Structure 1
Amino acid sequence: MLAISSNISKMVIFIFAIIIVVFLCVTTYLYLHKDESLVSKHYINYMAIPESDGVFTWLPDFFSHVAVDISISTNVEDDYFFSYFSLTIDDGGRFKKTLTVRAREQVAKIVSDNDPDTKKVWCKYGKIPGQGDSVNLFFVGEINVTHYFITNIGAGLPDACAE
């Protein structure tokens, strides 16, 4: 009886050791593969974004000032950002009227790979307030009638916009 108990104890210790090794491997993998350059922030509305926060150095001049529930993730090192935001149905309708050029299929695919709920993607050129007269390309996506996103990911692709 003592021999069986000893074997069970050894087996329990062995299984526990395997669990610890697997946990350490997964933790190490996640630590080594995290994107430390990505900074994410959330704001209840556009007016809640502090001037000193650096967010305005990413958002274009056409970004809706009535947007709410704004989340923005930036990566200075790789020079990209993406932001999700919400608009009322009326504000969304007015905002969509300014979006006239659809993004090509390759851009829509990149965007939908990041967010499968994306329905439509447009190209929109805009300036970053306080950064001179240079015009930058942005992509605006509609998730549903009140939820949108904007990004500059993929802006370097040739022929990104269907004109």
Structure 2
Amino acid sequence: MSNEFSVCLINKMLLPVCYFLILLAIFSYLTLIVSGVLDNGTTNSYFATRSEIPEDDGVNSWLPLFFPVDAEDINYFINVEAHFFYVSFDLEKNEGEKFRKELITKATTEGLGFIHAKYTKADRAWCKLDVIPEQGPEKHIFIIGKNKENDTYYMGSISDKRELSNTNLYESWAKYCASSILF
């Protein structure tokens, strides 16, 4: 065998091995992120009921005043650096009906898309403006979604730390919420 043929044969044999190793490395990295071993800045937690959330837990610094005290099966995702917050929770039928009556402003298609990007089961959505007591008097826009087939609600905040008087908050309301009235 000539040296050129040997080098060519070795290269052809090594190429699939290299592809395999690259794919294995990518898969391992993604698995570590999903399992929480590598920190992507997101905190995920679960609580069976609202009363089980410790007062000093960080989730309290993201919950608005209107968050139901009777919420159950609470799953939340917070990323402080990216300033996003998502939570899903269940309400018993009667409590869900009371909560639903507080949701007056329907979300636009973009508002539904916002919550649907995280929770694909949400098929309708509303907007709510409220304060987060732990963050001060500034108001925040929340998108609340629901699937008509169950008693699970999905919520995310599209606001950041900008004050209500900031033009961007008004623009976000106009983009995600069907009403032009903020109050």
Paired-residue identity, %: 26
Which amino acid letter does the alignment assign opposite residue 23 of structure 1?
Answer: L
Task: Name the SS of the counterpart of 1:95 in structure 2.
Answer: helix
Amino acid in the other structure paired with 1:36: N
Instruction: Pick from 16, 21, 42 the counterpart of residue 38 of structure 1.
Output: 42
Match of 1:74 among 51, 63, 78: 78
Conserved? CA contact 2:141–2:158, under 8 Å: no
Report how many residues are paired: 152
Query: Higher mean Cα deviation, 142-151 or 69-78?
Result: 142-151
Question: Is 1:27 equivalent to 2:43 in the alignment?
Answer: no
Secondary structure of the residue aligned to 1:111 is: helix
1:106 alignment partner, SS class: helix
Q: Does structure 1 conserve the Cα–Cα contact (< 8 Å) formed by 2:144 and 2:156?
A: yes
The structure whose RCO (Cα within 8 Å, separation 6+) is larger is 1
Q: How do residues 54-73 of structure 1 correspond to structure 2 at under 5 angstroms?
A: 54-73=58-77
- Judged with a 3 Å threshold, the aligned counterparts in structure 2 of structure 1 residues 35 and 138 are, in CA distance, closer, same or farther, namely farther
Task: Quote the offset at 1:60 in angstroms.
Answer: 0.1
Query: C-alpha distance in 1, partners of 2:93/2:30?
Result: 43
Q: Structure 1 length as normaliser, TM-score? A: 0.80
- Flag the 1:115–1:132 CA change in 2: closer, same or farther, 3 A: closer
How far did 1:20 drift? 4.5
Quick one: which of 146, 154, 179 aligns to 1:149? 154
Structure 1 residues 89, 23: CA separation in 2 closer, same or farther (over 3 Å shift)?
same
Report the alpha carbon displacement of residue 30 of structure 1 after superposing the two structures with TM.
5.7
TM-score by length of structure 2 reads 0.72
**Separation in 1 of the partners of 2:74 and 2:51?**
11
CA RMSD, aligned part only? 2.8
Q: Which moved more, 1:32-41 or 1:84-93?
A: 32-41
Contact 1:107 1:154 in 2 (8 A): no
Matching residue's letter, 1:37: G
Structure 1 residue runs of 5 or longer lacking an equivalent are 1-12
For 1:128 and 1:21, how far apart are their aligned partners in 2? 45
CA distance 1:37–1:88, shift in 2 (3 Å) = same
Superposition deviation, residue 149 in structure 1: 1.1
Partner Cα distance (2:131, 2:23) in 1: 49
> 3-state SS of the aligned residue for 2:23?
helix
Letter in 1 for 2:178: A
| Counterparts in 2 of 1:28 and 1:73: CA distance versus 1, 3 Å | closer
- Residue among 55, 79, 84 paired with 1:51: 55
* 1:106 pairs with 2:122: no
Q: How much does 1:112 deviate?
A: 1.8
